[in-house]
Amino acid sequence: MPEAGPGRPVLSVIIPAMNEAENLQSLLPALQQTLAGLGVPTEVIVADGGSTDATSAVAGEVGARVIRQVEPGYGGALRAGFAAARGDTFLTMDGDWSHEPDVIRALWAARGGADFVIASRYVPGGRAQMGWVRLLLSRILNVTYRRILDLPVRDLSSGFRLYRRRILEEIAPEATDFDVLQEILVKAVGGGFTVGEVPFRFRPRGAGRSHVRLLRFAAAYLRTLWRMWC
């Protein structure tokens, strides 16, 4: 854990990004405005997964700290961000406008009641604006995980989350793809950490194309389910 000091952030926001220059150009100023309202020192870290556009330049211009992920995949991006973060609390979010910065206020307010807070599409007040195939797959995987592993949350695959730093230090996630989200949750619950959810409305990404491939997404989740269950 980094040493305490007057210049150290309380909250570290970690954004995995690949070829998101156009979205980050508008997202990061909105994010900074939201963070300013929290009243605590913050930092924004963009984990660049090998962009071929101006992602790193755009992020740096608006005050984000840009790091290059070494390990591949979404899990590799998160681990790079966790390793670089200096805050006592971590927030992870997407860089494509599917995660609205305004929801951070609710996540931050809920931190007193849980060690780990998820912005959830599937609790009352939440909503998922996505194609029916992806929505159906997400629902099936969430229900399967929740029932087999007896997990106390409705949205296991949301990457919009707030964590106490010590959770990530203790569980040391290993998964390389989007299944790292389930791995973190399962290990956190198993380690006695408390989990809460706040509603949010997932919306379609802004500019560009999604990097999520549904079959790979499903296979990774099922592989991690098997690993966590056995």
Residue 79 belongs to domain with CATH number:
3.90.550.10
Q: Is the pLDDT of residue 178 over 70?
A: yes
Report how many domains make up the chain. 1
* H helix runs in the chain, sequence order: 21-36, 55-61, 73-84, 103-109, 132-149, 165-171, 180-190, 214-229
Q: What is the mean pLDDT of residues 43-49?
A: 97
DSSP single-letter state for residue 218 = H
Residue 219's CB is within 10 A of a number of other CB atoms, namely 13
For 158-174, write each residue's pLDDT tens digit: 999 999 999 999 999 99
Share of the chain above pLDDT 70, in %: 80
- Domain membership flag for residue 71: yes
Q: Average pLDDT of 45-55?
A: 96
Whether residue 173 is contained in a domain is answered as yes
Residue type, 105: R
Task: Choose among 80, 75, 81, 99: nearest CA to 182.
Answer: 75
Q: Is pLDDT above 90 for 151?
A: no
3 lies in a domain?
Answer: no
State which residues form the domain around 186: 11-229
Which sign does the torsion angle of CA 130, 135, 141, 146 carry?
A: positive
User: Is the residue at 35 inside a domain?
Assistant: yes
Compute CA distances 99 → 121, 143, 160, 192, whole Å. Answer: 11, 22, 7, 28
214 in a structural domain: yes
Does residue 7 carry a pLDDT above 90?
Answer: no
Of 176 and 223, which is predicted with more confidence?
A: 176
The answer to whether residue 5 sits within a structural domain is: no
Query: For residue 211, which phi and psi values (nearest 5 degrees)?
Result: -95, 0
Q: Rounded distance, CA 217 to CA 230, Å?
A: 20
Confidence of residue 1 (pLDDT cuts 50, 70, 90): very low
Q: Looking at the domain assignment, is residue 108 inside a domain?
A: yes
Residue 67 pLDDT exceeds 90: yes
Does 148 fall in a domain?
yes
Helix axes 180-190, 214-229, angle to 10 degrees: 20
